[in-house]
Amino acid sequence: AALPAHVCGGFPGMKRRHEYEGAGDRFASSKRGKGDRVVSMPCVLKFLTPEVMASAVIGKGGSVIANMRQSTQAKIGLTEHNEFYPGTDSRILTAQANTEDALVDVSTQIIAKVAECANQGPSEQLGGPGEIKLRVLMPRAAVGGIIGKGGAAIKQLTELSNAKISIGEPNGSGPSAEQTVSITGTQQGLEYVMGEVNRQVQALNKEPWFKVWAESTGAVSASGGGGAWTGGPSHSAPPAQLAPYRGGERHGGGYGGGGHNGGGSGGGFRGGNGIDQLMEIASTLPQYVTEDTRGFALSCVVPNSLVGGLIGRGGSGTKEIQGMTNTKIGIREIPGDPENRAMNIAGPLASTCAAYMLMMKRYLDAEAQAASGPPPREGPPREVPARRR
């Protein structure tokens, strides 16, 4: 059987299309300018948006998000319907505006929509009446301001807002490494906390790395396709080579050395042993690639029947590889595809590649075990064809 097809989520510095001109594909303008795909305003906030929240923010026919844009004079965009932040089932909502106050208004309206959804029916993602939940994405440097020296700032913020605040591990390293901040409390409590979140983020918007963080989503496609950048391989495609997007579609074969700013690629590494290719490519990469500490997201589709072998007993396999490579690895269901699951890997570029290769070793081991021994526990027994050479 072919190895899982991979989908490259892209460098944070690369631009992923946002729905700035409409609430979604159905409501988006058929003519998008390049300015709609980049952060052109100085103040930026990013929210994790589960589907029920996204629907409420968009509204019928895009009416709610259109009114929100008009009333706040902000640009508000969401990643595509099947493009989620790694390890979650949430899309990324990015709001950008000319002033910090405008983003306060955006936050207030988004929180009101969360409260509205929670009042209609409690959920794990958004909470219930009187205690709602919101998750935002912050650069690591801004999170430091939220926590404060010895945790003094977050303690005071918790006391003043009467909200619970939890902060996830950074996805990468350096000041722009992204962290998830989860807030639980009353509507007023969330508004208070978001005021401080907004202040801490915008205080850094003149830093050289800020625009890179602001334009990144790290989103990966849950459908096995290549998302907005490429057509993407099908589930049965042979393994694709891993390379950052450089402005055009990727095709099979080798990749040449494109310019730093998306220049044309040429040459390429073709033929020979795969390990030799890997070492040759690694040895020719410039420092700005090998030392880049920003997050990189990769997703691949794996058969449901081999998931047990991939993760190991009690998740020991993925935990070991996460520890070795300083990455985050998640495996989750794909809506409408009961035969397969999506495996997401996120972390610095070199670490993500290393984790992918180690997980593929586990995949091949699980495949060999399934072919020679009893069928795996997950899913009905099925014939596993021999791996193509």
Same domain, yes or no: 71 and 110: yes
Same domain, yes or no: 164 and 104: yes
- Could you report the per-residue pLDDT of 199-227, keeping only the tens digit for each? 999 999 999 889 888 887 766 554 433 33
Higher pLDDT, 73 or 248: 73
Same domain, yes or no: 90 and 167: yes
Same domain, yes or no: 204 and 231: no
In a domain, residue 25? The reply is: yes
In a domain, residue 388? The reply is: no
Same domain, yes or no: 108 and 248: no
- Could you report the per-residue pLDDT of 145-180, keeping only the tens digit for each? 999 999 999 999 999 999 999 999 888 778 888 899
In a domain, residue 215? The reply is: no
Same domain, yes or no: 226 and 329: yes
Instruction: State the total domains in the chain.
Output: 2
Last residue of a domain, one of 149, 175, 208: 208
The pLDDT score that the predictor gives to residue 196 is 96
Q: Compute the average pLDDT of residues 311-335.
A: 86
- Could you report the per-residue pLDDT of 89-116, keeping only the tens digit for each? 889 999 999 999 999 999 999 999 999 9
In a domain, residue 5? The reply is: no
Same domain, yes or no: 176 and 201: yes
Q: What is the pTM of this model?
A: 0.52
Q: Compute the average pLDDT of residues 192-203.
A: 96
CA atoms within 13 A on the CB side of 224: 20
Same domain, yes or no: 177 and 229: no
Same domain, yes or no: 58 and 201: yes
In a domain, residue 122? The reply is: yes
Cα separations (Å) of 7 from 2, 275, 330? Answer: 15, 21, 14
239 confidence band (pLDDT: 50, 70, 90): very low
Same domain, yes or no: 181 and 299: no
23 confidence band (pLDDT: 50, 70, 90): very low
Same domain, yes or no: 292 and 317: yes
Q: What is the CATH number of the domain that holds 225?
A: 3.30.1370.10
Provide CB contacts within 8 A for 135, sequence distance 6+: 47, 48, 90, 180, 181, 182, 183
Same domain, yes or no: 309 and 161: no
**Range of 172's domain?**
17-208
- Could you report the per-residue pLDDT of 252-300, keeping only the tens digit for each? 333 233 333 333 333 444 444 567 777 777 778 777 776 666 667 787 8
Last residue of a domain, one of 181, 208, 235: 208
Q: What is the CATH number of the domain that holds 200?
A: 3.30.310.210
